[in-house]
Amino acid sequence: MRKEVVDGLFPAIAGTLLLILTSIIWAIPIGVASGIYLAEYCNLKWKPVFNFLLDLLAGIPSILVGLFGFAVSVFLHKHLSEHIYPCFLISTLALACLVLPYIIRTTEQSLVDLPFFVKTTGLALGASRLQNILLILIPYNLSRIISGIILAIGRCAEDTAVIMLTGVVAMAGIPNSLLSQYEALPFYIFYISSDYNSQEELMKGFGACIILLSICVFLFTLSHLLKRKAAIRFAIHTLILPERKVMFRQNPNIETRNKFEYQMTK
């Protein structure tokens, strides 16, 4: 029984899911906290610096993030312990670095885009700054933040360049510790495409493609639906003010209106 399972795609699927789960566990707290800091606390002196560095991180090719992970593991191998090789842990950390900017940007933007009255009502009622953020602003925009996180999960699932340099292998079975090597779907597809011996293996490659594609499509659709829900809710809530009602009549496109709103709050 066990042998049959090991021979199939199961280790790759399990590896991908574990990879996504672990990287997102690293990335969510740091990403959301940084987004909150940039939207609510950061002063104008430091904001450009943070923005520039995060833009750069978002623009860096994913292979460089992989190379960074690889370099870190080489560095640790030399200076800390002989037992550290590129492994599952390094991969998840590198993937977390890759998707951090997405989470930070959506969190920050969703907080910045909030209408002025939502931002100030809690404060006027005596809530402290932290209470205002955690109890009012974030729940108000939760679906948009989650849509960003889901998009980040999708990036984790599809990325091949990062894991290729940080410890994924073609045959490893299910990872049994953080320091072991593992399999993943995108790498399996890449491996099959370059080195298949039989028609059966090729069919397995197409199977892996379909599974990966359906994971990504599912995540993408979910993220889109949540974003749409947030936009509709946003539109309904901001319709309360009369001058906004006029604006809406002139320009019923929700996305353009959001931009306008953003400019007004700036």
Partner 1 sequence: MKPFIEKFAEKGFLFSAILSASITISILSFMLFFSLPLFKGGEVAEFFTFGWNPYEGRFGILPMMAGTGIIAFLALFIATPFGIGCSALISVFPKQSFGIFLRKAVEFMTGIPTVIHGFVAIFLLVPFIREIFEKGTGICVLSASIMLAFLILPTIVLFLSDAFNAVPKSYLDAADSLGATPVQKLIYVIIPSTWKGIISGLVLAAGRAVGDTLISLMIAGNALQIPRGLDDAARTLTAHIALIIASDYESPEFKSIFICGLILFFFTTLIVLFLRLLGHFKILRDR
Q: State how far the alpha carbon of 16 is from the alpha carbons of 13, 25, 83, 240, in Å.
A: 5, 14, 24, 45
Nearer to partner 1, 55 or 201 (CB): 55
| Part in contact with partner 1 (CB under 8 A); list of ranges 7-15, 102-110, 168-176, 239-247 | 102-110
Q: Are 57 and 100 in contact (CB under 8 A)?
A: yes
Q: Which residue in the set 5, 6, 25, 53 belongs to the binding site for partner 1 (CB under 8 A)?
A: 53
154 binds partner 1 (CB under 8 A): yes
* 153 vs 20: CA distance, rounded Å: 6
Q: Tally the C-alpha atoms within 13 A of residue 261's C-alpha that lie toward its C-beta.
A: 29
Q: Are 91 and 166 in contact (CB under 8 A)?
A: yes
Nearer to partner 1, 7 or 55 (CB): 55
Q: Which residue in the set 135, 139, 201, 220 belongs to the binding site for partner 1 (CB under 8 A)?
A: 220
Q: Tell me, what DSSP letter sits at residue 171?
A: S
Q: Are 37 and 49 in contact (CB under 8 A)?
A: no
* 252 vs 245: CA distance, rounded Å: 10
Quick one: how many helices (H) and strands (E) in the chain? 14, 0
46 phi and psi, to 5 degrees? Answer: -95, -20
Q: Least distance to partner 1 from the beta carbon of 90, Å? A: 13
Q: Are 95 and 163 in contact (CB under 8 A)?
A: yes
* 212 vs 210: CA distance, rounded Å: 6
101 binds partner 1 (CB under 8 A): yes
65 binds partner 1 (CB under 8 A): yes
Q: Least distance to partner 1 from the beta carbon of 157, Å? A: 7
126 binds partner 1 (CB under 8 A): no
Q: Which residue in the set 5, 6, 21, 71 belongs to the binding site for partner 1 (CB under 8 A)?
A: 71
Judged by CB under 8 A, how many residues of this single chain contact partner 1?
Answer: 69
75 binds partner 1 (CB under 8 A): yes
Nearer to partner 1, 97 or 114 (CB): 97
Rule CB under 8 A: which residues touch partner 1?
29-31, 33-34, 36-38, 40-42, 49-65, 67-68, 71-72, 74-75, 78, 97, 100-102, 104-105, 109, 128-130, 154, 157-158, 160-161, 164-165, 186, 189-190, 192-194, 205, 209, 212-213, 216-217, 219-220, 224, 253, 256
